[in-house]
């Protein structure tokens, strides 16, 4: 009997160990001992970057979105192309628009000085996104960390995984749902467009061809975005005309007034199932803030590499 119990105890211990490694969890205190100054190190570098260019906050937030939506939050968006794979930087959603890589390099350099070989680039992206939102006046949240970095990237996965600005509501709901994100998460996370800018090529069709748009708003945007394709394609316009550098709920107020810049933005308030959520956020900024923070934590949980999977990159642009 004692022998059986002993064997059973060993088997149970092995089972728990295997289960634990297969379901390794992120936590807010993962680097508590191994890199105690991590969060302050990241924040000071992000603060410096935003002080030089306010738009950088939106760019860092977007990098995290575009990383998580392609094979999970694994830092793959940061990898340069190699002879063995074509990365995500030149995928359609990122080419000529994703930016902030040099800021991530600066953060990584500062973190490496503080605690070499300990913190992943994937975690740096997650922390920098939170800090960017907070610095620009938005909510804060406790970032879960413990991710490891991917050893590869996929341009095709980026082309297929990131919803384009031409998406309709059903396509948006479907893509977010496939990643475990609810319709409320979709609307809340879309509120990240309260900061940042978009290229003319991504909103030209909306301001010239769509009817669910405020006429004066469309006319204003047409001034810097010519009708002819190929002319002024990279001209920029703020996603939120009212307070483009403040993280607030004006994005939703704009949608209610038919002043969403992208087709995919206005789809959230166009007589569909998400109208009530948009209207609620437009009148209740604290509700938006809390839901955005919760959705960011949830998005950060998408398929992270943990345990012995992946690696801790020394340079965020290439594998070790």
Tell me the average pLDDT across 236-254. Answer: 96
CA 150 to CA 254: how far, in whole Å? 38
Same-domain pairing of 65 and 119: yes
Query: Would residue 271 count as lying in a domain?
Result: yes
Query: Would residue 287 count as lying in a domain?
Result: yes
What residues contact residue 272 under an 8 Å CB cut-off, 6+ apart?
A: 169
Please write the tens of the pLDDT for every residue from 146-200.
999 999 999 999 999 999 999 999 999 999 999 999 999 999 999 999 999 999 9
Same-domain pairing of 248 and 293: yes
- Work out the pLDDT band at 15, boundaries 50, 70, 90: very low
Let me know: does 60 contact 130? Beta carbons within 8 Å: no
CA 122 to CA 67: how far, in whole Å? 8
pLDDT at 18: 40
pLDDT at 25: 87
Query: Would residue 173 count as lying in a domain?
Result: no
Helix axes 275-283 and 183-190, enclosed angle (nearest 10): 50
Same-domain pairing of 103 and 152: yes
Query: Would residue 305 count as lying in a domain?
Result: no
Query: C-alpha angle with apex 167: 137 to 261, nearest 5 degrees?
Result: 45
pLDDT at 110: 98
R_g of the chain computed on alpha carbons: 21
Same-domain pairing of 187 and 140: no
- Work out the pLDDT band at 80, boundaries 50, 70, 90: very high
Query: Would residue 307 count as lying in a domain?
Result: no
Same-domain pairing of 47 and 149: yes
Among residues 162, 189, 219, which one ends one of the domains? 162
Q: Choose, from 56, 57, 65, 66, the residue flagged as catalytic.
A: 66
CA 47 to CA 56: how far, in whole Å? 10
CA 306 to CA 318: how far, in whole Å? 19
Helix, strand, coil: what percent of the chain each, to 5?
Answer: 50, 5, 45
Please write the tens of the pLDDT for every residue from 290-311.
999 999 999 999 999 999 999 9
> Could you tell me which residues are annotated as the binding site for substrate?
163
Per the structure, how many domains does the chain have?
A: 2
User: Is residue 2 scored above 90 in pLDDT?
Assistant: no
Let me know: does 155 contact 214? Beta carbons within 8 Å: no
Domain extent for 189: 181-299
Locate 218 and state its tokens.
Answer: 């469309």
User: Is residue 12 scored above 60 in pLDDT?
Assistant: no
> Could you tell me which residues are annotated as the binding site?
67, 70, 72, 74, 76, 88, 163, 193-194, 240, 243, 248
* Residue 263 annotated among the catalytic residues of the structure: no
Query: Would residue 4 count as lying in a domain?
Result: no
Same-domain pairing of 56 and 156: yes
Same-domain pairing of 151 and 246: no
Locate 141 and state its tokens.
Answer: 């949240």
Same-domain pairing of 293 and 200: yes
Q: Where are the alpha helices (DSSP H) in the chain?
A: 2-22, 38-52, 56-68, 101-114, 121-135, 155-161, 169-178, 183-190, 200-209, 215-222, 250-256, 263-266, 275-283, 285-300
Same-domain pairing of 217 and 158: no
Question: Widest CA span of the chain, in angstroms?
Answer: 85
Let me know: does 77 contact 158? Beta carbons within 8 Å: yes
pLDDT at 268: 98
Same-domain pairing of 119 and 226: no
Among residues 105, 131, 162, which one ends one of the domains? 162
- Say which DSSP state 224 is in: T
CATH of the domain at 203: 1.10.420.10
Query: Would residue 91 count as lying in a domain?
Result: yes
Same-domain pairing of 147 and 193: no
How many Cβ atoms from other residues are within 10 Å of residue 300's Cβ?
26
Reported pTM:
0.91
Ramachandran class of 174: left when φ > 0, alpha when ψ lies in -120 to 50, beta otherwise: alpha
CA 155 to CA 110: how far, in whole Å? 29
CATH of the domain at 61: 1.10.520.10
User: Tokens 């913190």 — which residue?
Assistant: 119
Same-domain pairing of 198 and 142: no
Query: Would residue 21 count as lying in a domain?
Result: no
Please write the tens of the pLDDT for every residue from 219-244.
999 999 999 999 999 999 999 999 99
CA 35 to CA 47: how far, in whole Å? 20
């Amino acid at each position: 009997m004692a022998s059986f119990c002993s064997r059973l105890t060993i088997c149970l211990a092995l089972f728990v160990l295997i289960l634990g490694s297969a379901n390794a969890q992120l936590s807010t205190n993962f680097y508590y001992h191994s890199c105690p100054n991590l969060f302050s190190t990241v924040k000071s570098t992000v603060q410096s970057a935003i002080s030089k260019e306010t738009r950088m906050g939106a760019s860092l937030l977007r990098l995290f979105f575009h990383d998580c939506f392609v094979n999970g939050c694994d830092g793959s968006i940061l990898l340069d192309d190699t002879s063995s794979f074509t990365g995500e930087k030149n995928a359609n959603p990122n080419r000529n628009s994703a930016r902030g890589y040099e800021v991530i390099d600066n953060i990584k350099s500062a973190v490496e000085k503080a605690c070499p070989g300990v913190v992943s680039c994937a975690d740096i992206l997650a922390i920098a996104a939170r800090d960017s939102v907070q610095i620009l006046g938005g909510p804060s949240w406790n970032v879960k960390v413990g991710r490891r970095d991917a050893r590869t990237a996929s341009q095709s996965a980026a082309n297929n995984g990131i919803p384009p600005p031409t998406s309709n509501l059903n396509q948006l709901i479907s893509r977010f749902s496939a990643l475990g994100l609810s319709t409320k998460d979709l609307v809340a996370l879309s509120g990240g467009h309260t900061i940042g800018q978009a290229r003319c090529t991504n909103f030209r069709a909306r301001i010239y061809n769509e009817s669910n748009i405020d006429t004066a708003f469309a006319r204003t945007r047409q001034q810097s975005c010519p009708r002819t394709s190929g002319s002024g394609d990279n001209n920029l316009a703020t996603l939120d005309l009212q307070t483009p550098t403040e993280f607030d709920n004006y994005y939703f107020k704009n949608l209610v007034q038919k002043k969403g810049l992208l087709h995919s933005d206005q789809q959230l308030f166009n007589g569909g199932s998400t109208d009530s959520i948009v209207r609620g956020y437009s009148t209740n900024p604290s509700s938006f803030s809390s839901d955005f923070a919760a959705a960011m934590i949830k998005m950060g949980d998408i398929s992270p590499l943990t345990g012995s999977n992946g690696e801790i990159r020394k340079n965020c642009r290439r594998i070790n």
